[in-house]
Structure formats: structure tokens, C-alpha cells
Structure 1
Amino acid sequence: MNRFLAAAFALLVPTLALADVDSRFAKLRDESEPLGALGAFLEKYVGECDGAFVDPQCKANAEAFRKKYTGKRLYMIITEDDATMLSAGDYNPGNNDYTINITPFFGGGKYALTHGAPKKTDAQGNPVMNYLTVSGTAPDGWNGGVFSRLFSTRGVRAQVVFTPQSVWSLPKKGGGKVYGVNARVEAIVLTEGRSGGHMGLWLNGKDAPK
């Protein structure tokens, strides 16, 4: 009986974790198709099809894949170790209010998914993206150091709902082009990885605090 209960609890944990997220985000998530590996999705959607040994059907397959997924609402989880697009913003020690900056550039393999299409690159050849910013209030017992360490030690998880729109390209430093997928990011919810506690929500183009 104990083994049965333990197994049942193990099956319930992922469901409970998903159900515990902000209800505004959960509604969009539940209307979306879960995404598997982001890198594989981006490779199929971009369909660069370069090289001497490319499948002759590559371009046709890419067009069919884009037709299937353009405008379709998708959902992905970005685990703590991969959430390098998150950074600590301001922290007010007087009331524990904070902001979190999100660079809407989600890398996967040699490509990236972005909120909108970047227009230029920086000196290192990286696409330039403006921050999305969310806000929240830290729980009792936190301070600026605790808040900052969550980002330096990769302690924050992101969940994203988006709809792919098109393929973008920019000149690549040293020659050639860099490609990515232009998407409309509809919602991003941030949670503390260890506890699952809510940290911020970006919804319908703006910060959406509780």
C-alpha cells in the first residue's frame, strides 16, 4: 500500500506543479500545445537547407512545417539552468518590491525564438532585444542579496506561451546570416525553481502583477 501511495504521489507532483501557477497564465497554457525540444522546433521552422548534402525535400518540408505552426499557440518550460535570459532588476529594501528583466531571446541550438524580429546586432554580432520587465514583492525574510542570488545561481524558472509568426534574418558578423523565429510572446510566468513560488507575470504585452 505504501508503495502504491508513493507511486500515485509521484504521478501527481507534475500536475500539482502546473496547477499551482497563476490562473491567468494557466488559462493560456491549457489552450496551447506543449512544445518538446525548442532547438528541434526552430531547426524545422527555419528550414535553412544549406549545404551539399541537404535533403532535396528540405525546403518543402520546412514550408509545410511553418504552415502547420504559424499562428498556433505553443507552450514551453525553460528550466532554471537554461533561463539565462532572466536578470535581476531593482530591489527596494523598504517594501521588498522588485523588478525582473527578461531578454525575449530564447536560444535553442543554432537558432533562437524572439518576441518580435530584431532589427540589428551589437558589436559581438548578437541580435539586440529590448527588455520585458515584470514586478513583484518578495516574501518576508528576503533581502536584496537573496533576490540577486536567485539569478546568479540560476534559481528561477520560466514558462512561456507564444505563437510563431515568421522567420527573421540578420547579417552575421564575419559574413553570412543569422536566422531566428519571430514570435508573439503572449505570456511569461516566472517562479522560484525550488519552491514554485510566483515571482512575476508578463501578459498581453505588459507587466501583470498579482
Structure 2
Amino acid sequence: MSRLLVAVAALLLPTLALADVDARFAKLRDDSEPLGGLGAFLEKYIGACEGALVDAKCKSDAEAFRKKYQGKQLYMIVVEDDAGMLSPGPYSPVTGEYTINITPFFPGGRYAMTHGAPKKSDGNGNPVLPYLTVTGMLPDGWNGQIFSRMFSMRGVRAQVVFTPQGVWSLPKKGGGKNFGVTARIDGLIVTEGRTGTQLGLWLNGKDANASR
């Protein structure tokens, strides 16, 4: 294969990974507004309106921004290097079925978006959230080691559709408060980053594979 063809194939892989997904998620994604950057969105949605040098319009601007996105579905991609919220769960070598654990905490800059509002923090001041779980069957030729290695080697990514619902706050270790955006995860698909192979799908508040 020529170098030109190799380069073209490398450019097309991310596109194929986005296109070849479950039709139910694809429809949800296509009906949503693409999010340019989570960090910038969270900054505007929460509004850092404390301190002597804050613009007097800060609170009203944040309120207007939240109103603009009330009930609106947004779409974002969590690339491999940022997908630390994905981790391998139980795997059965007998049936080939696996579980992927999703900690629904998506950091962006100083803040984070979460599925639901956390009620408490751990000893380090991090919000405590229950897992979302998705399941699947290992493809032919795979085993438990290959499955686990994908996560340790940062080989998985996620696409997320969510609806922002408000702002949460929790006491910060050492004083002050941590803020974040509570949201509803409408859909989340986990794929192998290199090939786009679907590994799991969260849809309509549950593991989509569980209903099949």
C-alpha cells in the first residue's frame, strides 16, 4: 500500500468510527447540538461570579446561558486520553460477556458535568457517583486480557448525548465549594478508538444490551 493510501486511511478512521454506530444512538446524536468544548460550556453555564473583580453582569449572563440550553440535548466526544471514566467490569470467560463501568463524571476545566447531582464527596473531596454499566459480548479472537488492556492502554472512547439540568455544589476539602453541572445522560456509546467497534451502549436510562 502506498504512503498516500496509508495517510488517507488514517484520516478516514475517526470518521468511520463516528459513522458506524448503533442506529438508535446515531439518530440521537444527529438530533443534538455538537458541543465545541466542555470546559468552555461549563464555565458559561455555571458562571464563576464570586470575587471583587467579577463583572456585574456575570450572574445574569449565566442565567441567560442556562435558559438558552434548558431542555436542549448536546453531543460530545470523549477521546481516548480523556476517557478515564470508563473502566472494565466483570468478565465471564465461559459466556464471553463483559461489563463496562462508567463513572458519570466528565471533567472540563475547573468544573465537571455529571449524570444526576452528587450528594456527597469522598475523603479527597471528589464527588461520589454510582456507576452506569453497559454489557456486551467479546468479539471473536478476543479474551479477557485484550479487553482489560484496551482500558489500561487508553484504547477506548465515548460519545455522549446529554441534557443539562442545573448546577450542583458540594463542600470543598479545605473550605469553599466545588461546582458542577447536573445533567441527564440520554445516550452514551463506548467504542474501541482505533476501529470504532461498538463495545457498549447506554440509552433511555439503562444498558441498551440488557433489553435485547
Task: Compute the TM-score of the two structures, normalised by the length of structure 2.
Answer: 0.92
Q: Which residue of 2 aligns with 1:176?
A: 176
1:149 equivalenced with 2:144 (yes/no):
no
Q: Which residue of 2 aligns with 1:39?
A: 39
Could you tell me which amino acid in structure 1 is paired with residue 188 of structure 2?
I
Q: Which residue of 2 aligns with 1:195?
A: 195
Alignment of 1:12-31 (within 5 A): 15-31=15-31
- CA 1:92–1:13 in structure 2 vs 1: closer, same or farther (change >3 Å)? closer
Q: Which residue of 1 aligns with 2:108?
A: 108
Contact 2:156 2:191 in 1 (8 A): yes
Distance across 2 between alignment mates of 1:195 and 1:7: 16
Distance across 1 between alignment mates of 2:61 and 2:73: 20
Could you tell me which amino acid in structure 2 is paired with residue 196 of structure 1?
G
Structure 1: gaps spanning 5 or more residues: none
Deviations 1:124-183 (A, max 9, x none): 111000000000011111111111111111110100000000001111111111000010
Secondary structure, in 3 states, of the residue corresponding to 1:72?
coil
Distance across 1 between alignment mates of 2:122 and 2:8: 51
- Most deviating of 49-58 and 198-207: 49-58
Distance across 1 between alignment mates of 2:12 and 2:191: 19
- Number of residues paired by the alignment? 208
Alignment of 1:30-179 (within 5 A): 30-179=30-179
Secondary structure, in 3 states, of the residue corresponding to 1:61?
helix
Secondary structure, in 3 states, of the residue corresponding to 1:65?
helix
Distance across 1 between alignment mates of 2:79 and 2:19: 17
Could you tell me which amino acid in structure 2 is paired with residue 197 of structure 1?
T
% identity of equivalent residues: 72
Task: Compute the TM-score of the two structures, normalised by the length of structure 1.
Answer: 0.92
